[in-house]
Amino acid sequence: MKKIKIGIAGTRGLSTLMGLKAIEDVEITAMCDLDETHLNEAADKIGVSNRYRVFDDMLESDVDAVIIATPMQCHVPQAIAALEAGKHVMSEVTAGVSMDELFWLCECVEKYGKIYMYAENYIYTPEVQLVKSMVRAGLFGEPYYAEGMYMHNIGSILTYPNGKRSWRSYWQCGKRGNFYPTHSIGPVMQWFPGDRITEISTFSPGVWNDVGLKQDSGTTTMCRTEKGKLLNIRTDCMSAHPHNMDFYHLQGTLGCYRSKTHGSDFHRVSFIGEDSPIHAMQWKKLEDFEDYLPDRFKYATEEQKHAGHGGGDFFIVEDFINAVRDNKQPDLDVYTACEWTAVGLLSALSVTNNAKHIEIPHFRKNMPLEEKIVKL
């Protein structure tokens, strides 16, 4: 089988290393980073000699696919350039930084027929996958409400070690609203199969942290889905709170799940049952239901589990390579990427207009031009 040649842009892309190395017939042949020191450090680590500071130069090489792990504002311009050059794309989160970009990205994936995969690794953690299987098996009854919370004080990465401002101070914390929502939306949407977010409203307590940037001291975005379900998505990168980037809660008609919040805590579930009527429900450990875990997570090797984000950084690469091999768009396709990213982009409009209710466009193949707008 012909080897799939991969080019990586941005050092965060090295998180895919273990996954790529474990898969046969894949080789990393090029590395790109604007910063020469980062470039050489990363390329030495991977052992590649094709090194590029300019992304478009890497596209002139014979790579079949690129992993885009540069800052958020580079994702769409680089993805479009890659698709135009006939390369498959795996893009870091979020998909883009403006609504116009998202519409353009969808058009290019359709036009050039290459694979686009959204690298939302948080959906690949064993707990999220286990709850997904339990939802499918009907243990929670009909899910109707979920919460996803991303608490990550990023004060220390708003500047680089050399004292210069990092891209995060403008493209993330220079923005109002829920600028980084997909680590929360992605996992909870796994539990609402066949549904999509159709409308949002974003609330904020205002700015209470003396960082000198525009970002709110946390925002809460209420999302309504097409099937009438409700999601509560909180992102807070400002407040005084220990890191808790993957808190989730699911409520169904027969039971619920709450993820752990700190080291000694545990993931828990509770169900109505003969021995536990609704007024006397008890918590059980999620790990007691591990039989429901899909095989590839159940039998993951220690190495896979340690790939980062609970093994997520391994399995996401496997799905990307399979999509490229089968020439079939993955579940985390461009439309999913745009829907989840749009929640964040439009939350800024909502929060600056007194939590105004905003519709999320229905991103899909051949979406008509008259729908490529923000409806006010």
User: Does residue number 32 form part of the binding site for ligand NAD (CB under 6 A)?
Assistant: yes
Phi, psi of 245 (to 5 degrees): -95, -5
Residues 67-86 that bind ligand NAD (CB under 6 A): 69-72, 74
118 vs 297 by CB, closer to ligand NAD: 118
116 neighbors 96 (Cβ within 8 angstroms):
no
Residues 180-219 that bind ligand NAD (CB under 6 A): none
Tell me which stretch binds ligand NAD (CB under 6 A): 31-39, 104-112, 284-292, 327-335: 31-39
Tell me which stretch binds ligand NAD (CB under 6 A): 33-41, 127-135, 255-263, 330-338: 33-41
Tell me which stretch binds ligand NAD (CB under 6 A): 9-17, 198-206, 287-295, 323-331: 9-17
Residues 283-322 that bind ligand NAD (CB under 6 A): 309
96 vs 143 by CB, closer to ligand NAD: 96
Q: How far is the CB of 126 from ligand NAD (least distance, A)?
A: 16
Q: How far is the CB of 331 from ligand NAD (least distance, A)?
A: 16
Q: What angle do CA 369, 374, 376 make, to 5 degrees?
A: 130
Residues 106-145 that bind ligand NAD (CB under 6 A): 119, 121
Any bridge partners for residue 88, and if so which? Answer: 65
Q: How far is the CB of 207 from ligand NAD (least distance, A)?
A: 22
Q: How far is the CB of 194 from ligand NAD (least distance, A)?
A: 25
Among 33, 127, 236, 339, binds ligand NAD (CB under 6 A): 33
Q: How far is the CB of 132 from ligand NAD (least distance, A)?
A: 19
Among 38, 260, 284, 296, binds ligand NAD (CB under 6 A): 38
Among 6, 81, 93, 300, binds ligand NAD (CB under 6 A): 93
Q: How far is the CB of 51 from ligand NAD (least distance, A)?
A: 11
Q: Residue numbers of the site for ligand NAD (CB under 6 A)?
A: 9-12, 32-35, 38, 55, 69-72, 74, 92-93, 119, 121, 166-167, 309
